[in-house]
Every structure is written in structure tokens, then in C-alpha cells.
Amino acid sequence: MTDSITISVDAMGGDHAPRAVIHGAHLALKERKNTRFVFHGRQEQIAPLLDEFPALKPVSTVRHCETVIAMDEKPSQALRKGKGTSSMWMAIQSVKDGEADVAISGGNTGALMAMATFCLRPMEGISRPGIAAIWPTLRSDIIVLDMGATIGADARQLVDYAILGSALARALFDAESPSVGLLNVGTEEVKGLDYIKEAGRMLSEASGAGFTYHGFVEGDDIGKGTVDVVVTEGFVGNVALKTAEGTARQVASYLRSSLRATLMSRIGALFASSALNALRRKMDPRTVNGGVFMGLNGIVIKSHGGTDEIGYKSALGLAYEMARSRLMDKVGDTMHRFPIHKAAAGTPTETEARSA
């Protein structure tokens, strides 16, 4: 286990930055004392906030960056504007330079992926990076990817995601051979688009190389926790994620309305308060905040831009665990075991950055 974990933070990324970011770091430090932070952003805004949290200040370094990437900037525009100068770029650069173990930002997702891809470069053998999410289910937490790093995929890219997702499951869940399923419109082998069926064939042949291929899974299998890793392309994955978040808020709203509807329901809610509080915590998306950029030569975490200090605490905790569990070593080991995926990824281009 590493004695100390250093997290490089884009302090200006997100709707409520930098206050929510700094406050979240303060909360994260309470749970993981051996953490250090490098905050990148406007020093005149960050320094007064650190003064409010005396325990956080001694383990923090501030790197002044005047340039901040807006949430609505296109990835190509953000790359030209912020390469080498922005708080987002410099947070990633700290990982490349070995100053930090992991980088985190709540800023523009497309810009973050473009900058991370250009700065850290894809790992050899990975054609495109993906975003992995930790997904709570009826069984336990699972991994789902891609959550929207790229739109569209081919069979090789789905195989990439299976390799990366199983490595993440091994790092997080200590599973020697995680089960992997391909999201499809049915579980029968004859169903689905050709590239999904081709990916299924490739994964079936390689099952046992660091993971166990389960086969096709359907949308309801995500919530059931049928497999440890669910693989899909970015468009479908992002829609699934946003649908699940919206459904959780909808159910929570229905529940609150029902419990306040009558005097008897309010009395019942009082008696069941401990169980209801546990349910609220379980359904709170802030507690599972953070997407892991997989397939790069370094670890980058994307926090939800609209979250508060509780969400940032969760994302920083995820960043810590990724570094502590030596995620990069597990990705390399899984790729080394894989018998049929040998092609190396090329250097990213401006066109790829624009599509991120």
C-alpha cells in the first residue's frame, strides 16, 4: 500500500467551484488522512478557502492558473485555449510529470477527455479511451462503460472496454476473474447489431484471460447486478446513466409526496425514519459520483459538474482508491493476459479530440 496518495485537482472545474471542490477535499481528508492535494486554479480564490479549513491547508499545494475552461466550450476550442495553461490541463500534467498519482476535474467532459488524451496518450493496444462508472445494483456495485467518451463503437473498441472494465473491477472489488456482459437488445446470440455479435465472439474466445465472459445482457440486468462489468458504446451508456439518475430522483420525489400525504403516512414515516434515511443515502447519486477515464497512461477522474461538496468528497475518495489499488498495474496485467487483442493504438489526432 502506498504511504501517501497525492491527488491533482482542477479546482476551477464545475458549477460550484472552487468552494465545493475545496470543501469536498476537506471532507475527503477526514476519511483518508494520508492524502495530499495539488489544487490548480486562481490562487486569489483558492487561498481564502484553504484558510477556512486549517486541517486541509498543510497538506495542500496551490498552482496558480489564470485560464479556466468553460462548461460549454467545444473540446477542440478548449484544447487550443487551455493546452499548457489552464487549470484542467495542469491538473492532468501533474500526473504525467509524476507529481500526483491521479487527477480529478468536475469541468467540461469533452474538454477533459481531449486534454487527457493528448497529455497522457492512450495505452498501447487501446484504440480509444472510455469512461467507466461505478453503478449500485441489487447485488453490489458494478462497472458500466463507456459512459459517453465517444459516440459509436466497433467490435474492437467494445473489446477494449471489456479489458479496461474488468481491470477496474479487479482493482475495486478484488475480483480475480470479473464477469463481463455485452449490453444488447436480447440475450440470444442471433440478436443485436453485427459489431456487438462480433465483439461477443471475440470475448467468448478470450474468456478466462483476466475475466469471465457471461454473454449478452439486457438493460434490466444492470440494476440486477447480473455481471460485474457491463460493456456498451458511449451513446447508449450515457443515455442509460442519465435515465437511471432521473428515475432515482423521480422515485425519491414520489416517496416524499406519499409520506407527506396524510397524517397516518407522516406518523409511519416517523417510525420508519432510520430505514428511510438509509434508503435516501442509497439513492443519492452524490455517493457514487465520479467516472474513471480508462485506457490512458495515467488515472483521471471526472466528477459531476453540478455536484456539491458531498459529491466531490465521493469523487476524491474514488480517486484515492484508484491510486491505492494500483489500477494502472492491473490494466497492464489484464491486457498482457488477453490472447487475441494485440493491435496498438495510434497517436490521437485533432479530429479525434473534436469528437470526444
Instruction: Name the one residue in this structure whose C-alpha cell is 471489456.
Output: 162
Going by pLDDT thresholds of 50, 70 and 90, the confidence category of residue 176 is confident
pLDDT tens per residue across span 321-330: 889 888 888 7
Question: Does residue 60 lie in a domain region?
Answer: yes
Instruction: Name the one residue in this structure whose C-alpha cell is 458511449.
Output: 234
- Tally the domains of the chain: 1
Question: Does residue 111 lie in a domain region?
Answer: yes
Going by pLDDT thresholds of 50, 70 and 90, the confidence category of residue 347 is very low
Question: Does residue 288 lie in a domain region?
Answer: no
DSSP state of 122: B
Rounded CA separation 279/289 (Å): 17
Question: In this structure, which amino acid lies at residue 201?
Answer: R
Going by pLDDT thresholds of 50, 70 and 90, the confidence category of residue 296 is very high
Closest CA to 227 of 237, 218, 239, 236: 218
Question: In this structure, which amino acid lies at residue 4?
Answer: S
pLDDT tens per residue across span 237-252: 889 888 888 887 888 8
Q: Which pLDDT score is estimated for 283? A: 66
Instruction: Name the one residue in this structure whose C-alpha cell is 492532468.
Output: 92
Instruction: Domain of residue 321: give its range.
Output: 1-129+295-356
Share of the chain above pLDDT 90, in %: 52
The larger pLDDT score, comparing residue 175 to residue 58, is at 58
Whether pLDDT at 346 is above 70: no
pLDDT tens per residue across span 86-126: 999 999 999 999 999 999 999 999 999 999 999 999 988 78
Burial of residue 53 (number of CB atoms within 10 Å: 0-12, 13-18, 19+):
middle
Question: Does residue 143 lie in a domain region?
Answer: no
**Domain with 53 in it: what CATH number?**
3.40.718.10
Question: Does residue 203 lie in a domain region?
Answer: no
CB proximity list for 271: less than 8 A, separation 6 or greater? none
Whether pLDDT at 139 is above 90: no
User: Model's pTM, two decimal places?
Assistant: 0.83
Question: Does residue 172 lie in a domain region?
Answer: no
Rounded CA separation 165/146 (Å): 9
96-110, 253-267, 270-284: which range is least confident on average?
Answer: 270-284
Cβ atoms within 10 Å of 198's Cβ, excluding its own = 16
DSSP state of 10: E
Whether pLDDT at 3 is above 90: no
Question: Does residue 273 lie in a domain region?
Answer: no
Whether pLDDT at 355 is above 60: no
Question: Does residue 50 lie in a domain region?
Answer: yes
Rounded CA separation 138/225 (Å): 6
